[in-house]
Amino acid sequence: MVAMTVKGRHVEIGVVDLFDGSPERDAEFIQSFARTAEDLGFSGIWLPEHILFFDQYESEYPYPSAPSAADPTRSEVHNATVDGKPRVEVSDDQGLLDLFQTAVQVCRATTRIRFGSSVLLLPLRNPSVIARELLTVGELTGDRFDLGVGVGWSSEELEACETDFASRGRRNEDMMVDLRQRWPKDAAEPSAAGRMPRMLVGGHSPAAIRRAAQVADGWYPWNLTLPQFEQHYATYARRVREAGRELADQHVIAGLRFSGDLEALPAVVEGYARLGADGVNVSLRTDARSYAETLATASRILELAA
């Protein structure tokens, strides 16, 4: 079994984690983590992306709250605030390995589990370069790559990469359209080798939901309580229909940072699935020394492993 079953529906369960190249999370650790997650029945490993981190931010972190494990209809604030603004939680020497090269490392060590970006900052890319990178990573991973895309929230990061922050939304959408036009037409078929990766738009702003419904293959919101997810999913479904597309052809993954008793995790997953999610990605903030035990416990509770 590689999915949780909720009322007859198979719900993919992915795990979100960080690989930063530190001695504890080096290339050998990545492969061990990937094999463990695959053996335990998780459907995918998803990595966030940041090119640069900063000691100080003027930008406000947009996801400081997450659904409460005890009651997923309400939220809990998990992030610290600085000068009244939510602050992204990073270590003093935080870094992240390149997504595409990490994807290849994960898939080299496994045979089934997928890899996803949670999410890739598309406005930082050149259209021709990213198209070649995606074709390459598809070839090297056996098309086991899912492309979550987003506009980014840190003006500091985009400006440091010499990219305009204000126009990032428009450029993100233009590049999504451009990628579809560049891809070989026969590679769009689900069974085709070298097919374009499934593209999901991260976030739940009105613009993100519109892009997900009109351009992408699905939607990937983050840290929404169940009532929030229900509300935004209704908007997404309406937008899909207005675009003349079929909701059944779209893929929706609800992502969250889960903090609390793992025994409460099935109720959260079941809640998202009941409201329309096809998958749930969970950040458990695993420790390098105890990650296998944490993943094993979550797998057992969710009844993932065969």
Q: Does residue 27 sit in helix, strand or coil? A: helix
Identity of the residue numbered 46: W
3-state SS of 174-189 is HHHHHHHHHCCHHHHC
Contact between residue 299 and residue 40 where contact means Cβ atoms under 8 Å apart: yes
β-partners of residue 281 are 14, 255
Domain that holds residue 90: 4-302
β-partners of residue 150 are 121
What is the pLDDT at residue 154? 95
Burial class (CB in 10 A: 0-12, 13-18, 19+), 120: buried
Contact between residue 269 and residue 6 where contact means Cβ atoms under 8 Å apart: yes
For the domain that residue 125 is a member of, what is the CATH number? 3.20.20.30
Beta strands in 216-264 (DSSP E): 218-220, 251-257
What is the pLDDT at residue 2? 59
In tens digits, what is the pLDDT along the chain, a chain of 306 residues?
456 776 556 899 999 999 998 889 999 999 999 999 999 999 999 999 999 998 888 899 999 899 999 999 999 987 777 777 777 877 777 889 999 999 999 999 999 999 999 999 999 999 999 999 999 999 999 999 999 999 999 999 999 999 999 999 999 999 999 998 887 665 555 545 567 899 999 999 999 999 999 999 999 999 999 999 999 999 999 999 999 999 999 999 999 999 989 999 999 999 999 999 999 999 998 999 999 999 999 999 999 975
pLDDT digits (tens, 9 = 90+) for 166-197: 999 999 999 999 998 887 665 555 545 567 89
* Number of structural domains found in the chain: 1
Contact between residue 13 and residue 269 where contact means Cβ atoms under 8 Å apart: yes
pLDDT digits (tens, 9 = 90+) for 119-150: 999 999 999 999 999 999 999 999 999 999 99
Q: Rounded to whole angstroms, how far apart are CA atoms 278 and 147?
A: 16
255: phi > 0 → left, psi -120 to 50 → alpha, else beta; which?
beta
Contact between residue 215 and residue 173 where contact means Cβ atoms under 8 Å apart: yes
- C-alpha distance from residue 222 to each of 66, 148, 191 (Å): 8, 12, 29
The pTM for the full model equals 0.93
Identity of the residue numbered 153: W
Contact between residue 18 and residue 96 where contact means Cβ atoms under 8 Å apart: yes
- H/E stretch holding 67 reads strand 65-67
